[in-house]
Structure 1
Amino acid sequence: MEEYNSLGNNRKYKILFVCLGNICRSSAAEGVMKSLVEKAGMSDRFEIDSAGILDYHEGELPDSRMRSHARKRGYELVHRSRPVRTEDFGYFDLIIGMDSQNMADLRRRAPSEEAVRKIVRMTDYCVRYAQADSVPDPYYGGAEGFEYVLDLLEDACAGLLERLA
């Protein structure tokens, strides 16, 4: 991955989080990152969004279980699901996939080598969970899966913000 753009200019740094359907992991990552950026007083320096590989849930709010678990931690997830679009690869500075399949799908869709270099894995920014190699999909699991995903996302988003700040 290329070195990050300097945040010393007036242009916002644009981050896109991506998972399969954009109703659990990527929407939660968007909510966590927005909260961290806001608490750090840097909302004016970032544009944060999320999207899904598939369009099955387009227009839907995040999964109700994810919203519930996130709300307990102080995050309100209000994003409406949308699929990744070709123009996202030119618009965003960083495109962050949650697992190996998301990464492969993003690389396959990337319109150029420059776009491929923008694609990174969410867990690359983990500090406490440095051994994690993916953010697992909690959709078919129980409450502990949603809590673990939020633990990973909080860790990775904090690590990402530290790298970018």
Structure 2
Amino acid sequence: MKKRVLFVCLGNICRSPSAEAVFNGMVKMEGLEHLIECDSAGTAGYHVGEPADKRMQSHAMRRGYRLTSIARKFDPGTDFDRFDYIIGMDDDLVNDLQDLASSTDELDKIFKMTDFCSSGGYHSVPDPYYGGSDGFELVLDILEDACEGLLNEVKG
């Protein structure tokens, strides 16, 4: 049975589509596409229907990641049922997701992205939207570390 992972940030145009692309890259490299699938969403509907932020796309492309997802809003009515892991990028997002959960089973699916980091240097994936290039690079650094740990967790 396939494991399904959902990455969640605020607007679904920077952090979560990047996490989706990085994770998909790692899944593909290990030949696990038949066992693991992922998606991304935002807790706010600001950018529904839009592609990822052009700056984020540019930084990701330099590392070989293509951000192809289209922004959508997290849907508690279907996403809790559909996904095994629901990964928030920071404490506020995790809290928002926990508030949307209606059972212990749903709460047990919620994790913070940096929980899977091996470096331990960061407690969240910071939102790069209002910053400069360094912020986008930092997001990718953290996501590459965290996605590696997450993949090991999902593989069991």
TM-score (norm 1): 0.92
Q: Quick one: which of 55, 77, 82 aligns to 2:45?
A: 55
**Residue 90 of structure 2 aligns with which residue?**
99
Q: In structure 2, the residue corresponding to 1:43 is in which secondary structure?
A: coil
Aligned equivalents of 2:130, 2:96: Cα separation in 1: 21
Q: In structure 2, the residue corresponding to 1:44 is in which secondary structure?
A: coil
Q: In structure 1, the residue corresponding to 2:34 is in which secondary structure?
A: helix
Letter in 2 for 1:42: L
Q: CA RMSD in A?
A: 0.7
**Residue 122 of structure 1 aligns with which residue?**
113
Within the alignment, does 1:88 sit opposite 2:44 as a pair? no
Superposed, 1:33-72 pairs within 5 Å as 33-72=23-62
Cα deviation for residue 91 of structure 1 reads: 1.1
**Residue 3 of structure 1 aligns with which residue?**
none
CA deviations over 1:8-39 (Å, ceiling 9, x no partner): xxx11000000000000000000000000000
Runs of 4+ in 1 over 2 A off after TM superposition: none
Within the alignment, does 1:158 sit opposite 2:148 as a pair? yes
Aligned equivalents of 1:131, 1:114: Cα separation in 2: 30
Q: Can you give the 5+ residue segments of structure 2 that lack an aligned partner in the other structure?
A: none
Cα deviation for residue 163 of structure 1 reads: 2.1
Letter in 2 for 1:95: I
Q: Can you give the 5+ residue segments of structure 1 that lack an aligned partner in the other structure?
A: 1-10
CA contact (8 A) 1:125 1:156 kept: yes
TM-score (norm 2): 0.97
**Residue 124 of structure 2 aligns with which residue?**
134
Number of residue pairs matched? 154
Task: State the percentage of identical aligned residues.
Answer: 51
CA contact (8 A) 1:89 1:111 kept: no
CA deviations over 1:95-133 (Å, ceiling 9, x no partner): 0000011011100111212101100000000013x1211
Within the alignment, does 1:78 sit opposite 2:68 as a pair? yes
Aligned equivalents of 1:164, 1:63: Cα separation in 2: 28
Letter in 1 for 2:144: E
Q: Quick one: which of 22, 25, 28 aligns to 2:15?
A: 25
Letter in 1 for 2:146: A
Q: In structure 2, the residue corresponding to 1:56 is in which secondary structure?
A: coil
CA deviations over 1:27-53 (Å, ceiling 9, x no partner): 000000000000011111111000000
Aligned equivalents of 1:161, 1:14: Cα separation in 2: 11
CA deviations over 1:67-88 (Å, ceiling 9, x no partner): 0000000000010000000210
